[in-house]
Structure 1
Amino acid sequence: MNLKWSLGAVGLCVALSVTAQEAPADFTTQVPLSLSGEGPWYRLDLPLAVQLNARQTDLGDVRVFNAAGEVQAYSLAREQAQSRESLVVSDVKWFPLYDSASAREAVPSVRVQSNANGTLVEVQPSNQLKAGEAVLRGWLLDASAIKVPLQQLILDWTSEQDGFQRFSIEASDDLQHWQSWGEGQVARLSFADERVEQHEVGLPGQSARYLRLLWNAPQAAPVLTSAQLQSASSSYLPQPLVWSEPLAGSSTKAGEYTWQLPMGLSVEQLQIELSQANSLAPVTLSGRRESSLPWQTLSSGLLYRLMQNGQDVVQNQLQLPGHVVQQLKLTVDERGGGLGAQAPAVRYAVRSTQVVFLARGAGPYTLALGSATVKAASLPLSTLIPDDSPKRLATLGQAKVEGAAVMTSQASAVAPIVPGTHWKKIGLWAVLLLGVAGLAGMAFSLLRKPPVKS
């Protein structure tokens, strides 16, 4: 009898452990979702403010529940930015764009000749310019040999022209229709017996056969000595960046500022607030996961906010390699005047995260996160959606966080955990202990039995 009871107790323990499932109450944060479009698969762009409620850096504690509290199958898309090893730098040909000194047109009128492959052969002004009238207004770059998205422009120019060089960037595939790609800025400065140079300009990660660079002020463009384009070598584009709200920092010594992030994050860009005009500061940025680890150098550069020709020229961003960090430290060379006694506010950028889930059962559906103990349950996208072609993914339904509501369970505000909160765990341990006690009692009774005489 004792043996049967013990085996039954052990079997019940196993059964309870198998059937015990995660519930929304096991997570500190629950967010209601609204669905639109055609299911049963839905795509959710996870807001950064919601993501910061996670307890695990890899977002292994993200779950989606239906109205009955049942876990939904899901896939987590958290692609990282392209590594430097997967980028290709290509030299490109450049052609000068001349115009008369008295011309008021924003774009010089040119005559272009190209071969059958679209490669530029010659670029000449449409009107014959007299000697002394020709002014170099910009440059036309031939990127027709590059078939992948353009990530960065790298320029070099004659050393006679120091200072800032600001220009507009336009892209075209036919030399007739041009699309604005924003503005670019490079610089060559002398500072404290040192030479500081900035040659790189970020591009939007799109493809184009030709780029047109037109200088704003001064009107005359510098003479280029080198033009290169950095392009992505893989077939996919990384997820876009999402920016945080301003984060306050602290300073314990002159020229050194630190910030504590809400959790470990793969930060790829950092924006430092430069509140004072005419600020100039060479800086080095370091990061680490926790206070017990040494600082690791992540980036360096020149931050400035200067007035040039009546315009506020600002460079306040640093590129980071995307390592997971929770603490940041900025060291400033104060020979440029520093950034003040108070730590400036910063905003950090990480790659956006998408949650794709298969809606099963009745809604409404809830996104839950915030548990340090649950195991990651994300499926590969190809497993979740058998036909995960780009065309199929484009037709997925959309899920959104309802308003800015974030519901936090009471368990998140209680520390330590109040006894009696996790009833499932307590029940399982009670059954297990009863089973062990039954086995011990059976063994003790067998030992006390007198030996059978033959």
Structure 2
Amino acid sequence: MGKLSLSGLAFWMLCSAAHAQEAPADFATQVPLAISGNGPWYRLALPLAVQLNARQADLGDVRVFNAAGEPQAYALSRQSSQHTESRTVTDVKWFPLYAADTREAVPGVVMKATTDGTLLEIRPSSTNGQQVLRGWVLDASAIKAPLQQLTLDWSQEQDGFQRFSIEASDDLQHWQAWGDGQVARLSFADERVEQHDVSLPGQSARYLRLVWLGQAAPQLTSAKLVSATRSRLPLPLVWSPPVAGARLKAGEYSWPLPAGLGIERVRIELKQPNTLAPVTLSGRRDDKQAWQPLSNGLLYRLSQNGQDVVQDELQLPGLAVTELKLHVDERGGGLGVDAPTLRFAVRATQLVFLARGEPPFTLALGNASVKAANLPLSTLIPDYTAERLQTLGQATVEGEMVVTSPTVAQAGPNWKKLGLWAVLLLGVAALGAMAYSLLRKPPVAR
């Protein structure tokens, strides 16, 4: 029994040395946290600038410590996209909005609908003078799911950019702004470039009102709404600081990116007014991999009615790449000799921790050698549900990041770890001595 106990003791000491408690000084970056709301669980949306200081692509080196330097139990949520249960494209009816001129912000109209909400008629509140077509009202009363996208088509005679405001209503009386939309049909180098889709905020509404900005509206030939029932809302997109690129050759530019981030959108700087550039964006994980097409589209910055009309973003499929390459069709004039700067967007990473001990709490990361310590959310929060997650207390980054060299890279001995290894070696030596003593002991006569 004594031999077995000594072996178990040595094994325990070995495990203790291998899993010595980490301290904030073991990590290159420390960020102060402020907490609010009801604990003991707190959720923190990790800023992208903080994530880029991690030494492990999967954020296995992130930790939270209390005021005494004790590590806290935590979980990571790295949701890449919404979970879609169903997606439907619906053709909807449209009704014209007329006004006396294009300077009137919102046309005065009288609207009629049936008891079930189906739109019957829209007419001007005043018929004095010539009426100008200012926009359209779309009847979405038959759609019960949140609206994700609007797709428009219009008469071939009206080319160019079409910019309009988007408002939503359930009663035709009270309207909520949903931002601006922009579609386009352009002739370019014997080709036609068309943009018909406009993103919507993913909310439900019975009616949409589109009012053209400073110009008459075109005659619509088609209006479709894409709706989707989703099991949960996505985490928001977070944008990177500007990334400098390099010009590979005429019409080609590249940008290096951090590894392990699923990029969903990029924004390319368009410095010069009246820029028009059909582009193709490719990516790869390393320089040994072939380039893979990720997106294509039309980038532009054009002056229209005294304002800049800008489309500088491209949608990506969320793949993790370490380098991007942009090919530009230079028949539109290109993007210049110097590579433009680029920003990329990824879904926010949310960290949830169980507060133990006294604040202030510190977020630490930046250690390539530590092992991941995060738990599943269902383990961290025993009765976890997606709805409950939104009710947890909140933690936010405050102050500035403190970036240092981890203790393991600093000069001088790490007395804590040296002491643990000394205890381990002494235990192993004692075990060896015991085994040697047992081997030298003469066998007992029977």
TM superposition score normalised by structure 2 = 0.88
Deviation at 1:174, TM superposition (A): 0.9
The corresponding residue for 1:96 is 96
Structure 2 distance, partners of 1:288, 1:169, is: 37
Look up the SS of the partner of 1:262 in the other structure.
coil
Deviates more, 1:157-166 or 1:31-40: 31-40
Look up the SS of the partner of 2:156 in the other structure.
coil
Q: Which amino acid aligns with 2:345?
A: A
Deviates more, 1:77-86 or 1:355-364: 77-86
Structure 2 distance, partners of 1:394, 1:244, is: 25
Relative to structure 1, the CA distance from residue 321 to residue 13 in structure 2 (aligned partners, 3 Å threshold; closer, same or farther) is: same
- Which of the numbers 400, 404, 418 marks the counterpart of 1:409? 404
The corresponding residue for 2:41 is 41
Contact 1:141-1:212 at 8 Å conserved across structures: yes
- Which of the numbers 147, 159, 163 marks the counterpart of 2:160? 163
Structure 2 distance, partners of 1:256, 1:433, is: 63
- Which of the numbers 330, 338, 345 marks the counterpart of 2:341? 345
The corresponding residue for 1:124 is 123
Residue 144 in 1 paired to residue 137 in 2? no
Structure 1 distance, partners of 2:11, 2:332, is: 73
Map 1:260-299 → 2, pairs under 5 A: 260-299=256-295
Contact 1:249-1:344 at 8 Å conserved across structures: yes
CA RMSD, 1 decimal: 3.3
Deviation at 1:89, TM superposition (A): 2.5
Structure 1 distance, partners of 2:156, 2:437, is: 93
The corresponding residue for 2:107 is 108
Map 1:194-213 → 2, pairs under 5 A: 194-213=191-210
Per-residue displacement from partner, 1:359-408 (whole Å, max 9, x unpaired)? 111222111112333333333334333454577545433222221x2122
- Which of the numbers 366, 372, 379 marks the counterpart of 1:376? 372
In the alignment, structure 1 segments of 5+ residues that lack a partner are none
The corresponding residue for 2:330 is 334
Relative to structure 1, the CA distance from residue 145 to residue 384 in structure 2 (aligned partners, 3 Å threshold; closer, same or farther) is: farther
Deviation at 1:59, TM superposition (A): 2.1
Structure 2 distance, partners of 1:155, 1:200, is: 7
The corresponding residue for 2:417 is 424
Relative to structure 1, the CA distance from residue 413 to residue 168 in structure 2 (aligned partners, 3 Å threshold; closer, same or farther) is: farther
Contact 1:288-1:327 at 8 Å conserved across structures: yes
Look up the SS of the partner of 1:265 in the other structure.
coil
In the alignment, structure 2 segments of 5+ residues that lack a partner are none
- Which of the numbers 428, 435, 443 marks the counterpart of 1:435? 428
The corresponding residue for 1:53 is 53
Deviates more, 1:358-367 or 1:258-267: 258-267
Deviation at 1:152, TM superposition (A): 1.7
Per-residue displacement from partner, 1:385-443 (whole Å, max 9, x unpaired)? 3454577545433222221x2122323895xx868559638944983697389659947
Structure 2 distance, partners of 1:374, 1:5, is: 30
Deviates more, 1:356-365 or 1:299-308: 356-365
Contact 1:75-1:355 at 8 Å conserved across structures: yes
Deviation at 1:331, TM superposition (A): 0.9
Deviation at 1:199, TM superposition (A): 0.7
Structure 1 distance, partners of 2:89, 2:111, is: 26
Residue 360 in 1 paired to residue 359 in 2? no
Structure 2 distance, partners of 1:242, 1:208, is: 27
Per-residue displacement from partner, 1:93-148 (whole Å, max 9, x unpaired)? 21122234x57532222222222221212323334578xx3432111111222223
Structure 1 distance, partners of 2:294, 2:246, is: 19
TM superposition score normalised by structure 1 = 0.87
Q: Which amino acid aligns with 1:310?
A: G
Alignment: residue pair count: 446
Structure 2 distance, partners of 1:317, 1:265, is: 18
- Which of the numbers 156, 162, 177 marks the counterpart of 1:180? 177
Structure 1 distance, partners of 2:433, 2:272, is: 76
Structure 1 distance, partners of 2:4, 2:173, is: 87
Contact 1:9-1:435 at 8 Å conserved across structures: no
Structure 2 distance, partners of 1:227, 1:429, is: 76
The corresponding residue for 1:245 is 241
Q: Which amino acid aligns with 1:183?
A: D
Aligned-pair identity in percent equals: 64
Deviation at 1:289, TM superposition (A): 2.1
Relative to structure 1, the CA distance from residue 413 to residue 12 in structure 2 (aligned partners, 3 Å threshold; closer, same or farther) is: closer
Structure 1 distance, partners of 2:221, 2:433, is: 86
Structure 1 distance, partners of 2:113, 2:264, is: 39
Look up the SS of the partner of 1:214 in the other structure.
strand
Structure 2 distance, partners of 1:432, 1:87, is: 63
Contact 2:83-2:231 at 8 Å conserved across structures: no
Q: Which amino acid aligns with 1:160?
A: E
